[in-house]
Amino acid sequence: MPDLDTIDLAIMKALQADGRMSNAELAQKVGLSASACSRRLDILEKTGIISGYHARLSHKALNYTLMAVVHISLSGQSAKALAEFEAAVKLCPNILVCYLMSGEYDYILRVAAKDLADYERIHRDWLSALPHVVKINSSFALREVIDRPNIGL
């Protein structure tokens, strides 16, 4: 992992604001030549500091108006049980985020659904079928207050 300097941080901050800018625009913004900027960007990508470039889609515009936070308890925490659960959870397209947790629940998921009937389908066909699940606790978001796509740099 390279040591990050102010130029690297400026590159990352600029790309968080506009991941579609050209290398020439980025270089000008951070005060480097295009070739030097390209080399630094390549290092940030190869080391995994920049892990990808994505279009941020509107769930609402795509008619996914219900967000659920789902707490999952498993029957055990063996490496095999965790691996089987994690492999299965990756297959459900409605699960946006999955965290392995400490504390009362083993996992917390963020699930997108079109409506309550759609969530019932997801619960029945996906969540209840996940391996080693013994408890599912769902909470529904009333309103999104903040959902930051970027880390403050």
For residue 150, the model assigns a pLDDT of: 83
Considering the domain delimited by 66-140, tell me its CATH architecture.
2-Layer Sandwich (3.30)
**Strand residue runs (E) in the chain:** 66-74, 95-100, 107-113, 133-140
For residue 11, give every residue at least 6 positions away whose Cβ sits within 8 Å of its Cβ, in sequence order, or none. Answer: 26, 30, 37, 40, 41, 44
What's the rounded Cα separation, in Å, for the pair 117 and 33?
A: 54
Looking at residue 133, its pLDDT comes to: 98
Which has more confidence, 153 or 103? Answer: 103
pLDDT of residue 1: 67
Mean pLDDT of 53-60: 90
Query: What are the boundaries of each domain within the chain?
Result: 6-46, 66-140
Domain 6-46 sits in CATH at 1.10.10.10
Give the Cα separation of 53 and 27 in Å (integer): 18
